[in-house]
A = this chain, B = another copy of it.
Amino acid sequence: MTENNLKAFPGSSGNMITKNFNVGPSHVDPDVANDIQQAIDQGILSISHRSERFYQLYAKARTEIFKYFSLPADWQIYFVGSGSDAMESACRGLIEKRSFHHVNGNFSERAYKFAGMIKKDAVLNKRDELSGFTGEPDAAPEGTDCAFFCKTETATGVATSWDYIKAFRDKNPGVTIVCDVVSVVPTEPLDPNMCDYYFFSVQKGCGMSAGLGVALCSLQALEKCKRLSEAGYDVGANRALITMDEFAKKDATLDTPNVLQIFLLGKVFERFNQKGLVAIESETRAKAKQIYDWLETSEYFYAGVSDPALRANTAVSVKFKDGVEEEAVLKAVTEAGFETGLGYGAALQTGYIFAQRRGNDPCADLLPSSVAPHAHLTRTLP
């Protein structure tokens, strides 16, 4: 491998700017940095969460998000500390006895583990990493009352198609469906008929820093949680859906929330609404195609997810081709300004994720436009 070869790597001929290409938080949007300054100037960091000003911020974020996804008025939004918080709230509030977990990566597995930790009868439906769920949907085991999907596995770039989830729903009526859309929002629609509960966090496609999780909960799901609570189940305390709902009705939270992030999220979705979901989805799909097309011609890499039907639009995993000097490529990647992490585990892996988030990603200038103008780069999970 020569120096010339390495220069062909996206960004390697650019300036020495270190950019975050981790699978975790995205690079924070410059607009968001401006919003933070505005929050400081307006004194938003100090406002009470029991004040009209805060209720307006809450309502603003709710209204913009509901508008963006065309969610019905009987759904509700809850703000928690992280996506995992929203995941635990679902496990406690929406599983009566038996949950059925479609697991093909770290995050779908986390929901399975959480359900087990809180003493539910969690049933595993596992696929290999970089593989997933296609074809005829699996029937839920007898007694299942809640099913979990991870729409896109953040760290491996495997997607489950909405068609699969829809077919599962049709085949298993009466089963509550929870869907992790952390690595999806804002690039795909969230159909209120397909799932009963969606959750995401803000440090991915929203281009914000971490520290806020968002749960979108249907009336049906909320009523199930109420039934479970009345039947004596432990549905949680601080993050119980019924507790959060009581306060959400007043555009408020029980505990002191992340006021800054709720303010920022409202601003972020206001901008998303200016562009619209259709445009953002279409742009994301086109850019994903650019990346996958580029991989077909790449000298170093190939797509980690071999089945095109399982490839995500927001996270593209890649693997080294045989014979590639991985160390040299890694060095070139670093020198090109890509800050690559070790993913969510300790072991060094021979793989990467290009996790594109959405159109206005500031890392665009690091990649040649012929390749993928809006891509993130990181190691995959061990």
Residues of A within 8 A of B (CB): 18, 20, 22-28, 32-33, 36-37, 40, 43, 45-51, 80-85, 87-88, 91, 113-114, 117-119, 201, 203, 208-212, 232, 234-240, 243, 254-261, 339, 341-344, 378
Closest 9 pairs (CB-CB, A-B)? A81-B81, A211-B258, A22-B48, A84-B255, A45-B209, A82-B255, A114-B237, A28-B45, A20-B46
Q: How far is the CA of A114 from the CA of B240 in the complex (A)?
A: 10
Contact B117 A237 (CB under 8 A): yes
Q: How far is the CA of A28 from the CA of B240 in the complex (A)?
A: 29
Contact B46 A25 (CB under 8 A): yes
B47, B81, B243, B341: which contacts A82 (Cβ < 8 A)? B81
Contact A82 B48 (CB under 8 A): no
Given the complex, which residues of B lie within 8 Å of A24, measured CB to CB?
Answer: 48-50, 256
Given the complex, which residues of B lie within 8 Å of A51, measured CB to CB?
Answer: 22, 339, 341
Contact A45 B22 (CB under 8 A): no
For this complex, 18 residue pairs linking A to B, each with C-beta atoms less than 8 Å apart, are A20-B46, A22-B51, A25-B48, A28-B40, A80-B81, A81-B258, A82-B255, A83-B255, A85-B238, A85-B239, A85-B255, A88-B236, A88-B237, A118-B234, A201-B256, A210-B258, A210-B259, A210-B260
Given A210-B257, A237-B88, A256-B82, A33 and B50 touching (CB < 8 A)?
Answer: no
Given the complex, which residues of B lie within 8 Å of A114, measured CB to CB?
Answer: 237-238
Q: How far is the CA of A298 from the CA of B27 in the complex (A)?
A: 54
Given the complex, which residues of B lie within 8 Å of A212, measured CB to CB?
Answer: 211
Given the complex, which residues of B lie within 8 Å of A343, measured CB to CB?
Answer: 50
* Residue in B closest to A22 when the chains form the complex, CB atoms: B48
* Residue in B closest to A250 when the chains form the complex, CB atoms: B346
Contact B118 A50 (CB under 8 A): no
B26, B32, B211, B378: which contacts A211 (Cβ < 8 A)? B211
Contact B84 A209 (CB under 8 A): no
Given A85-B81, A117-B236, A118-B237, A209 and B260 touching (CB < 8 A)?
Answer: yes
Q: How far is the CA of A119 from the CA of B229 in the complex (A)?
A: 11
Given the complex, which residues of B lie within 8 Å of A18, measured CB to CB?
Answer: 43
Given the complex, which residues of B lie within 8 Å of A239, measured CB to CB?
Answer: 85, 88
Given the complex, which residues of B lie within 8 Å of A341, measured CB to CB?
Answer: 48, 50-51
